[in-house]
Structure 1
Amino acid sequence: MTMKHALTLRNLLILFCIAMLVLIGLKGIDINRKMAWVAEAERYYQQKDLIRAEEWYQKADGNTSIHYKETLIAKRLRELEPITLMKQTLSQLDQRAERTGSGQDFTGFLQVYHDLQSTQNKYMNTGDSFSAYYPEISASFGISDDITRYFQQFKALFYSQLDDRLNQGETDEASPKWNLQAIPDAFFGGTTEKNKQLTAKFKDFDERLMSKLAGDGKFQDLLDVSQSLMSQYQGRELKAPWVKTKAEELARIILKKDVDGDQMANYALHAKTYETYAKNTGIKSSLLSEIDRQIRKWLTAAQRKIKNNDYEGAITIYQALSSYQDTTADVKKAMLAWTVHDPLRLLQQTDQTKNYSHVSGGGDRFGGNAYAIGSDDSNTVYFAKMNEDESVQLLSTHDFPSNVNIRQISIEKSLSTKSVPVILVEGESSSRQALYAAFEVHDSNITQLFMFNADGYEVQPDKSLLVTRPDGVEGSETAGASQAAIYARQDNSYQFMGFQKDYTDIDVNNLLSYSNEKVRFTCYVVYGGEGDALAQMGDSYLKLHGSYTFYDGMKVTVTGLFSQFEDVYPGGDQTGEMLTVPVFDVENME
């Protein structure tokens, strides 16, 4: 072994010995500590200071440098176990409170608070000797101060969140609001103070939120938020009368603006929305009766417009109010009244390109709600009918001459029935007073009943026609002025049947028995003349007077009226005998 190796080994042994001495010294210190800690713990135990006794027994138990009074330590720790559990539980709660509070985990923090309350009730209400030590142990952790501090921070946070959400236009305020409500009363200074603070804050926030929605024109959102707030407050058994009051106030302002601006459609929509809101929330609101009065006022105005023939104005009102109530029937009724008043609308529903004239019409006739008649530039005659299902049926005829000017078109009431109308067209005539044409309307076509030039006609009770001087009828020129031609219906048209006999055929010798009665007789002209003549009547004469030329010896058949006598000289010889003879006014001579 060299000198160098000997020195190195010796040095190592020296260092080892020194280390052993240090360890022995440290162990000795730990031994002394444990013995001192046991003594200290026992002293506190004897002084009934069990909290500190438990603390020193725990230290001694953790010192394993020497087995010293282990039985005593274990016994004491078993005895002081309630204090140990209190410390462990409160330590865990303190850590959780710090973690959830600093992390703004309100739900977790609230659970810590409830667990702390449960722990306090558990240890304070046991009735044993250890319950008195709970307040001191709790105070040693400072957990109550931490709870108070963090609840105050949460209050400030939730107040700030309410303002931020309002400023950002958000309507979901439930989370911060009900978080505030969840904070225990004690941290507001008691139940009364809490109710006072939160009621003022909630009222201010709710009213500002609803006012902002109203100002932004979000009427539906305003009422939805109001309904939601009511439901939330009721669910928590909280009274919030300002929600209903503010919603009603804002709704009344908006509805008044609609009325002032004559915005009926907006009013109807807003009114219906508010009515639904009131029904869903079950509130009683004076605004509902105001809405009802305003709606009825507008409906009355619409009815007044119909009476004044302003149908378009009435329909505008009905359509504007349709979002509040079903006005479909009112619109249909007004449209029908408009069509009846202005039948041109009915014709134009089928073809707006034509230029209709001589238009007339009516309602609730001929199996339809409305009808219209008229013609176009080519003298085509039209009949339009609106059926019960509002469909429009249009029929036409081209039978009226296109080169004749039409004076008027009407319904021939005397020939029409409830279901079958007869259209009368009156046109210009070069030979008579007018050209008359009648057309009967059937389900699928129009047929011509008659067409003639005449000075007029009358419909008789049996539906026959008495036509005055019809053109083209043989004998009409020679018939008396009062002798009308008779037309009767044969199948689907009227045919000439002859002339009306409005006189009595008599023997000339019986004329005096028919004073002031229209009669016809045959006689011989004895003394002729222009406009006047003497004709034989038995052994005497009668005077014929009329717009005719009478010739001596002619045999004539005359129709007329006897109403007076006249003194005459037969043959004009005034030297002869003057005779008194009847005067016969001749209307017609054959």
Structure 2
Amino acid sequence: MSFYQKTTLVRNILLIAFALAFLAVVLKLYASAREVSLIREAEALYKQNKLEQAVERFSSAQTYDAITYGDPEIREALGALDQIHSQLADIDARLSLSHEGKDYKALLETYRSYADLKASFSQKPPAQKAYFQQISTGLSIEKDMQSEFSQYRAQFEAQMANNLKKGSYQDESFIPNLIAMPGDYFEGGKEKELTALFKNYDRKKFRDQKENQSFATVVGNTAKSLRLYQENHFNAPWLVDALEQYGLQTLSKESANIEAFINDAKLYEQIKDVLPNASDVLALIDRKIDGFFTKAEQYVKGNAFDKAIELYQALGAYKSTASYLTQLQDRWLDHDPLQLLQKQYPDKTFSDVVSGKDRFGAQLYAAGVADGNQLYYAAKLTDGDVRFWDAALDDSTRVKKLSLTESIAENNQLVLLVESTSPNRKSTFTGYAVNPSSLKKWFLMEADGLTVQEPGLLVFENPVGEGEGQTEAPYQLHDSSLSYIGKTTDEPSDSGNGESGQGTDGLGGGNGDTGTNGAGESGGSTDNSGNNTIAPADGSKPVDPAATPKQLVIQQITNVHASPDAGSDVIGQVTAGDTLQIEAEKNGWYRIEYNGAAGWIKP
């Protein structure tokens, strides 16, 4: 590029720069002049109290922002008024958007913004307050809000009516919506009008549900409504009262049906969060539950264990009764050891039962016959272990009596002695040794009677086989058999002194559950007058023909006890129709001979 060209380029650039600078100056002068003109107009209008026009001029002047001109006080006042106009214009725009979008939440937010802004002007100069009201009125903000909220209220009340008409209450959003509505739009007072509105709705709804829905549905839906009121900080005492009255009526009627009562009581207790602290229904539930537990305890005290168990099991649906049931089972077993068998074999009915406690190396024990031909024995050992034994009996005979004894064998072996019918003699005597894992049949003999003279020596009356016809045929008991040892030389005495262990259907030694050694067990003696009357050592009185019957015909199944005490061991039963020989009497109890042992009954 030549020197001339370079010079020309520099000149042109300078000319353009000058032109731009000149244009900027011109524009600045114009803007300044225009701003001054608008400011002057605004000040003049402000002085004439034409505030809206003054703010319009002032706002237009601010767009130039070329110079600072005019009265500072007027400029400050016009600036404040201009801000008011902008804020109200923004609220008006938001109000329009909420209307177009049918957005109730946005309407509420717009109302709160307007209310806050209006409240902030309560302490402002009169000119600003007047201008605020002028612009607000000009934009129809309050009028438009009144219209919007009126339309929404009508919509919400229509939803309430529709719910009642259809009987459907899934959508109750109108409750929080009405509660959120500003109090300005309730002529008679917000709380008063809403209380009347909600009370009418809730009462009709509650009546409809009570007539057509279950207890669970009514309680659940009512609690849901109460929670909705609580979340929106609105008190609804009428609904609490209706719920409490309904709960009292329902649960009072169900108190005789424990399962229904507990089910509904648990449902009601799940809504404690909406109930008063002094809820009458919760108090009723506590009283009834306490009453059920008291009743169960009374059943236990009255030995009605099956009823107590049934009641505790039902109460288990309300709260855990496992500990109660465990204690109850122990008490029932202690009272009636037969439950050892009943619980193990619940489908069986036992007869010829022998049971007791703290004997034969067991805390509790029980033996019985079921299905006519099956022998069962159960024992709760001293270590708490419970064991069971069983053995099949002869189908061709019927069990007459069952007894437990340790006096038969020399080694104190526990034996279950079964006396059953016999085709050839009065009875069949079968002994079962109770071994650790089984019942072993030890011996069998048909005879008219049995007495244990001493451990290992059994004396049969008229047995089948060796010793037949003898009143006392002695047999030696071996590990797995009986052996006849010859005719005894001593005949039985009529004095009843029992030294030889004689007797019919008896077990000697005094160690068996039903065994005896004749008069020796009772500790009696012969009266010196020679009348052979036994004076029992247990405190009972001998039979007085004038006062005590010699024989007693049993009218119903009766337990035979080991002593004249209802709490003593039950060693067996006598059945209706049995004729028993009465040996003595004590406090209304009669002593009888049972399986060769002394037993006590109280008809």
TM range (shorter): 0.5 to 0.7
CA separation of 1:197 and 1:362: change in aligned 2, threshold 3 A: farther
Does residue 277 (structure 1) correspond to residue 271 (structure 2)? The answer is: yes
Amino acid at match of 2:402: S
Amino acid at match of 2:195: T
Does residue 242 (structure 1) correspond to residue 238 (structure 2)? The answer is: yes
Distance of 1:271 and 1:386 partners within structure 2 = 42
Distance of 2:376 and 2:160 partners within structure 1 = 72
- Residue by residue over 1:367-423, the C-alpha shift from the partner in whole angstroms, topping out at 9 and shown as x without a partner, is 58774532657x5x431548799999664445x655x42242413356599x98633
Q: Match of 1:586?
A: none
- Residue by residue over 1:418-452, the C-alpha shift from the partner in whole angstroms, topping out at 9 and shown as x without a partner, is x9863332233354322211212233211223322
CA deviation after TM superposition for structure 1 residue 197, in Å: 1.8
CA deviation after TM superposition for structure 1 residue 456, in Å: 0.9
Q: Match of 1:138?
A: 136
CA deviation after TM superposition for structure 1 residue 203, in Å: 3.4
- Pick one of 369, 373, 387 that aligns with 1:374: 369
CA root-mean-square deviation: 5.2
Q: Match of 1:434?
A: 427
Q: Match of 2:54?
A: 53
- Residue by residue over 1:162-213, the C-alpha shift from the partner in whole angstroms, topping out at 9 and shown as x without a partner, is 444554533453x4222222222232247xx222222233334444444444
Aligned length: 451
CA separation of 1:453 and 1:169: change in aligned 2, threshold 3 A: same
- Residue by residue over 1:462-497, the C-alpha shift from the partner in whole angstroms, topping out at 9 and shown as x without a partner, is 5754432333334x64x5x5xx34445444665555
CA deviation after TM superposition for structure 1 residue 291, in Å: 3.2
Larger deviation, residues 212-221 vs 341-350: 341-350
Amino acid at match of 1:434: S
Amino acid at match of 2:154: A
Amino acid at match of 1:54: V
Where does 1:176-575 land on structure 2 (aligned, <5 Å)? 176-189=174-187, 193-231=189-227, 233-234=229-230, 238-259=234-255, 263-278=257-272, 283-295=277-289, 319-327=313-321, 360=353, 362=355, 367=362, 371-374=366-369, 379=373, 381-383=374-376, 385=378, 395-397=389-391, 404-413=396-405, 415=407, 422-459=415-452, 464-474=457-467, 477=469, 481=471, 484-487=472-475, 489-491=477-479, 495-497=483-485, 502=490
Unaligned runs of 5+ residues in structure 2 are 1-34, 498-529, 531-603
The secondary structure found in structure 1 opposite 2:271 is helix
CA separation of 1:158 and 1:376: change in aligned 2, threshold 3 A: closer
CA deviation after TM superposition for structure 1 residue 108, in Å: 0.9
Contact 2:473 2:487 in 1 (8 A): yes
Structure showing greater radius of gyration is: 1
Q: Match of 2:104?
A: 106
CA separation of 1:329 and 1:213: change in aligned 2, threshold 3 A: farther
Distance of 1:293 and 1:38 partners within structure 2 = 85
Contact 1:138 1:144 in 2 (8 A): yes
Distance of 1:493 and 1:280 partners within structure 2 = 80
CA deviation after TM superposition for structure 1 residue 268, in Å: 1.6
Where does 1:99-178 land on structure 2 (aligned, <5 Å)? 99-101=97-99, 103-127=101-125, 129-165=127-163, 167=166, 169-171=168-170, 173=172, 175-178=173-176
Amino acid at match of 1:284: A
Distance of 1:416 and 1:55 partners within structure 2 = 128
CA deviation after TM superposition for structure 1 residue 112, in Å: 0.8
Contact 1:414 1:459 in 2 (8 A): no
CA deviation after TM superposition for structure 1 residue 142, in Å: 1.6
Contact 1:343 1:360 in 2 (8 A): no
Distance of 2:344 and 2:69 partners within structure 1 = 119
The secondary structure found in structure 2 opposite 1:130 is helix
CA separation of 1:75 and 1:250: change in aligned 2, threshold 3 A: closer
Name the structure where strand makes up a greater proportion of residues: 1
Contact 1:38 1:57 in 2 (8 A): yes
Q: Match of 1:5?
A: none
Give % identity: 24
CA separation of 1:279 and 1:86: change in aligned 2, threshold 3 A: closer
